[in-house]
Amino acid sequence: MPTPSWPTETSDEVAWLGIAELGRRFRRREVSPVELTRSLLARIERLQPHCHAFLRLTPELALTQAAEAEAELATGKDRGPLHGVPYALKDIADVAGVPTTCHSKILAGHAAPQDADIVKRLHEAGAVLIGKTALHEFATGGPAFDLPWLPARNPWDLSRHPGGSSSGSAAALAAGLIPAAVGTDTGGSIRNPATCCGLIGLKPTYGLVSAKGVFPLSPTLDHVGPMTRTVEDNALLLQAMTGGPPFYLGMYAGIRDLRIGVVEHFHPDDGNVDAPMMQAFEDAVKLLRSMGAAVGVAHLAPLAEWATCGSTIQQFEQYAVHEKWLASRPQDYCALSRAKLSAGANLSRVDYEQALEKRRQLRAALEAVMRDFDALVSLSGFHLPAPIEDADAVARTYVRHARMPFNVSGTPAIAVPTGFSKEGLPLGMQICAKAYDESMLYRIAWAYCEEAGAAVSWSARRPPLE
């Protein structure tokens, strides 16, 4: 019997398939990695002017890698779940010979000498790099209109902010431009856009994913992590990013009798949280209880203590990274990031060391609480995606959220959708676990999303871009 040939055409519908389903179709030769890549590049060209998700496409590299993957799969060489799957990379990580701009004029002419560790891992896994995505300048500041590149917009409502700083990665996923993306998270920069765009975004345990070759913002708070449209895809992408064990083992075991703590005091009263976000979170907690989890209340340090500790560490460290450029090239930063990066000039070494000691205390207290729970759940953000041109509204979303505690602790946290507001804007929460227990996060996230109908309604719902 002759070997079946690869399809020569790909429908736009295939753009919405995830890592797991694409892998199955590749291996049955129902979808061609090369034709999929061509189709996605055409789709990006069509929709990029609306959502501004990408800073740079790498079409020649992508088609070369896709052809290599297709040839290998045809001969039975299988590199794993990411083999032949296109992905997007936040433009803060290096790709040899390609500029790493960090969305800034400061690095506009920079070309990376070698691949970041994360790029090497994904190349070894057979993934196909299709382009580099927009972010907030140097992963801080916010959506800026005083740079040569426009900020990414939220595909669910193009007048809204997609969250940040991994804004382009989230916009590309939500718009069906890519099935997988890489982001970074220093104070919530994966979980924020995941929440704003209705996605799955994981901040792994500190150090689990190598940050070598990723431009630093705050080195002791920075995390590199996966962003996808489904929980299963997220686990598959994390496995490829680490080269470690399959994180999806045990994912389908259910959550009966798991001990889940609800962090209620991060939002002291409903007036501080947009009502749809709060209602969706309360409904999610009820659902977890109905699924057999032992749900209780978890008491951590006040959110303000975590936020102050984290912001002090971040401001001191990011100023150290940017001090020379702030002195010699201040005009080349956008106003937002120039102000944020300069804030560390007012901090002393004593302030920083006190914050480091506070972090040790907060970590120890969290570890003590976690002896009684398998995981915690809390809100991720307190507000719906803000109008992108309303600077004050966007700024509020960066000071009022519950993500920084888990950057300070270095423990893993995953953002999952909890539905949509009546205006059609995504809602979400986060689940947090002990260090290196990403498998627990995936277990709870998958069970919740399946029970809540995410596989039927949320992931099937698409933004009104077209």
pLDDT tens-digit series, residues 1-39: 345 577 776 677 899 999 999 999 999 999 999 999 999
Judged against a pLDDT cut of 80, whether residue 466 lies above it is answered with no
Active site residue 165: yes
Instruction: Give the chain's end-to-end CA distance (angstroms, integer).
Output: 42
pLDDT in the model for residue 434: 98
Q: For position 132, what pLDDT does the model report? A: 98
Contact 285, 377 (CB under 8 A): yes
C-alpha span between 439 and 443 (Å, rounded): 6
pLDDT(244) > 70: yes
Tell me whether residue 1 is exposed, middle or buried, using C-beta atoms within 10 angstroms of its C-beta: 0 to 12, 13 to 18, 19 or more.
Answer: exposed
pLDDT value at residue 270: 45
Structure tokens at 161: 């902010």
Give me the pLDDT at residue 9, please.
62
pTM here? 0.96
Provide mean pLDDT across the span 45-49.
97
Task: Report the pLDDT value the prediction gives residue 175, as an integer from 0 to 100.
Answer: 97
Catalytic residue among 90, 132, 203, 340: 90
Of the chain, the percentage scoring pLDDT greater than 90 comes to: 89
Selected catalytic residue, list 32, 165, 169, 337: 165
- pLDDT at position 202 over 50: yes
State mean pLDDT over 89-103: 97
The model's confidence at residue 459, banded by pLDDT at 50, 70 and 90, is low
Domain residue ranges of the chain, discontinuous segments joined by +? 17-305+345-458
Q: What is the mean pLDDT of residues 353-380?
A: 98
Question: The tokens of 274 are what?
Answer: 């947009």
The domain made up of 17-305+345-458 has a fold known as Amidase signature (AS) enzymes (3.90.1300)
pLDDT the model gives residue 411: 98
User: Of residues 167, 189, 380, 459, which has the active-site annotation?
Assistant: 189
User: What is the sign, positive or negative, of the torsion defined by CA atoms of 88, 92, 95, 97?
Assistant: positive
Cα 100 to Cα 185: distance, rounded to the nearest angstrom: 17
Q: Quote the pLDDT of residue 6.
A: 73
Q: What is the pLDDT of residue 457?
A: 55
